Amino acid sequence: MKPSHAAARPFVSGTDGRAIVIRGAREHNLKNIDLTIPRDRLVVFTGLSGSGKSSLAFDTIYAEGQRRYVESLSAYARQFLEMMQKPDVDQIDGLSPAISIEQKTTSRNPRSTVGTVTEIYDYMRLLWARVGIPYSPATGLPIESQTVSQMVDRVLALPEGTRLYLLAPVVRGRKGEYRKELAEYLKKGFQRVKIDGTFYELAEAPALDKKFPHDIDVVVDRIVVRPDLAQRLAESFETALKLAEGLAVVEFADTPAGAEAAEKDKKKTAKIHDKSGPERIVFSEKFA
């Protein structure tokens, strides 16, 4: 005499969403099993061939998760998707929309990832780009775009008398001689340049070895902070941003007080400290 599967089996409501609760799974060779699987963990099913691993993972858990997801869509959307059959199970709680990867090689490309194989890479890229909040690895603070007026306010908030260089970082870690570029900057009226950490008059800039990467900053302005600098700062920032494609750097000349003020005001901008050089504040029209 066979017992009734639904007779004496109490239904449960899960564990507050912290686990996937399965009751009475009988798909294929599963023998009316009950199971609680923790969520947000890496869970591995092991066992002999034919013991029901695939029946549980693919034909029960994945099938029910996919079926519920498709059922939640509009009638119009459902007509384009394949509706899976309900697996032979009494109850499953705590399920989310599911993704499964077949146990076979789907691509010969060694650079394939889970995202590309499951075709969710493009969607996740859009999600992170449009909804995600980037953070600076140096400070742990959110990275946000800044306007010229915000950049000006940030500089004017430094202690009066702080001496600064406003730089346009036109080259970062790239190989080349850059003779034509330096000559062009001189024609545009710029007088000084910082090459690989050293300041030079543009007319006397050294020849660069094209085999090695270089850093080049054009000196847009030299500033001593005071309240009446707003207009001049705005014009200088606009020049630097245009020259360096949206980037500008404020470098402290020799005043430690300014660097301390930047440290106290990290929430407004990221302070980059190079142990081999001076304190700098990096601004960006896109992210900063």
Mean predicted lDDT score pLDDT of the chain? 83
Instruction: Please name the residue that has the structure tokens 């970082």.
Output: 169
Percent of the chain with pLDDT over 90: 51
Phi, psi of 172 (to 5 degrees): -135, 105
State how far the Cα of 67 lies from the Cα of 84, in Å rounded to an integer: 5
Compute the chain's Rg from CA coordinates.
Answer: 31
State how far the Cα of 237 lies from the Cα of 42, in Å rounded to an integer: 50
Name the residue with higher pLDDT: 285 or 177: 177
State how far the Cα of 52 lies from the Cα of 55, in Å rounded to an integer: 5
| pLDDT band (50, 70, 90) for residue 5 | very low
Q: Quick one: which of 76, 56, 74 has its CA closest to 65?
A: 56
pTM as predicted = 0.51
pLDDT of residue 15: 57
Predicted confidence (pLDDT) at residue 148 exceeds the cutoff of 90: yes
Torsion of CA 125, 129, 131, 132, to 10 degrees: 90
CATH superfamily of domain region 148-284: Ribosomal protein L1/L10, rRNA-binding domain (3.30.190.20)
The single-letter DSSP state of residue 90 is E
State how far the Cα of 57 lies from the Cα of 52, in Å rounded to an integer: 9
pLDDT of residue 233: 95
Domain spans, the chain: 19-93, 105-132, 148-284
Out of 102-106, 134-138, 155-159, pick the least confident: 102-106
For residues 152-175, give the mean pLDDT: 93
pLDDT of residue 16: 67
Is residue 63 within 8 Å of residue 84, measured between CB atoms?
Answer: yes
pLDDT of residue 287: 64
| pLDDT band (50, 70, 90) for residue 131 | confident
pLDDT of residue 11: 45
Predicted confidence (pLDDT) at residue 208 exceeds the cutoff of 60: yes
pLDDT of residue 105: 62
Q: Coil, strand or helix: which one is 54?
A: helix
pLDDT of residue 198: 92
- Residue at 172: amino acid letter: R
Predicted confidence (pLDDT) at residue 110 exceeds the cutoff of 70: yes
180: how many CB neighbours lie within 10 A of its CB?
Answer: 9
Predicted confidence (pLDDT) at residue 222 exceeds the cutoff of 50: yes
Q: Give pLDDT tens digits for 85-106.
A: 899 999 999 998 888 887 766 5
Q: Give pLDDT tens digits for 226-269.
A: 989 999 999 999 999 999 999 999 999 874 444 444 444 444 44
For residues 59-73, give the mean pLDDT: 91
Give the long-range contacts of residues 259-268, CB within 8 A, separation 24 or more.
261/157, 261/158, 261/159, 261/162, 262/158, 265/154, 265/157, 266/139, 266/141, 267/141, 268/154, 268/157
Name the residue with higher pLDDT: 62 or 101: 62
For residues 64-89, give the mean pLDDT: 88
For residues 186-209, give the mean pLDDT: 93
- Cα distances (Å, whole numbers) of residue 81 to 75, 77, 85, 99: 10, 7, 13, 14
- For 180, the token pair is 């034509």
